[in-house]
Amino acid sequence: TDAVVLEGVSKTYQLGDQPVAALGGVSMRLPRGSYTAVMGPSGSGKSTLMNLVGCLDTPTSGRVVVDGQDVAALSDRERTRLRGREIGFVFQTFNLMPRLTAAENVALPMVFQGVSAAERELRARQLLDRVGLAERANHRPRELSGGQRQRVAIARALANDPALLLADEPTGNLDSATGRAIMSQFADLHRAGNTVLVVTHERPIAEHADRIVHLLDGELERVETIDEPRRPH
């Protein structure tokens, strides 16, 4: 079965009395265990697509089906549960809680999944270690650089070992060594059978995926298959 199915998905935002068409009739499938990159110029609908797949928003028309469930048919509460259980999301703006330390931010999704405090603490530190931030575990976001915040956001997205990992420009602010380390985390998750969807402007990053979906003006321009994804070592 598919992790995600989009059927004729359109999204129109209302900007004052002006409708803005962000997506116009996009259909695609993300098979379980697939690794997909999304590319396209600024304004082509990439973030809108991610927000729909991530159950943060619902389409104006068409259907978004995540883990077999039509997202629009779920209550807010059910949608939040689905998100917490299935989806790890790395936002462009990181969305970290300013009053919590890096470790507490990473542990937060585990609180909602009922993981014990001791286990959360241990796992948060392991995740921070994996993204190379062990020594910053007790820092608050404002004490961290942009790239460090991004790594906290990635560690948090991995907290519940999500079946579906969504990342919007995950390497955008990072130096190339850190960027490679992050992509190798994603490759690990993919190898472990998880479904990965990554938005990127960088062609070499996109080539880690099995296929690249190209968006243009809110439409699916073409899908490119990558024969030999360049997996990081």
Binding site for ligand ADP (CB under 6 A): 13, 15, 20, 22, 40, 42-48, 143-148
Which CB atom, from 18 or from 116, has the smaller least distance to ligand ADP? 18
Please list the residues that pair with 66 across neighbouring strands. Answer: 4, 69
- How many C-beta atoms surround the C-beta of residue 41 within 10 A? 12
Query: In angstroms, rounded to a whole number, what is the distance separating the alpha carbons of residues 92 and 119?
Result: 28
Which CB atom, from 1 or from 42, has the smaller least distance to ligand ADP? 42
Shortest distance in whole angstroms from residue 61 CB to ligand ADP: 15
Shortest distance in whole angstroms from residue 12 CB to ligand ADP: 9
Which CB atom, from 187 or from 206, has the smaller least distance to ligand ADP? 206
Two tokens at 144?
Answer: 């961290």
Two tokens at 106?
Answer: 């990473």
Shortest distance in whole angstroms from residue 14 CB to ligand ADP: 7
Query: In angstroms, rounded to a whole number, what is the distance separating the alpha carbons of residues 140 and 103?
Result: 9
Which CB atom, from 40 or from 170, has the smaller least distance to ligand ADP? 40
Q: Are 86 and 164 in contact (CB under 8 A)?
A: yes
Shortest distance in whole angstroms from residue 6 CB to ligand ADP: 14
Which CB atom, from 57 or from 188, has the smaller least distance to ligand ADP? 57
Shortest distance in whole angstroms from residue 231 CB to ligand ADP: 26
In the chain, what is the straight-line distance between the N-terminal and C-terminal CA atoms, in Å? Answer: 29
Q: Are 74 and 68 in contact (CB under 8 A)?
A: no
3-state SS assignment for residue 190: helix
Two tokens at 28?
Answer: 């695609």
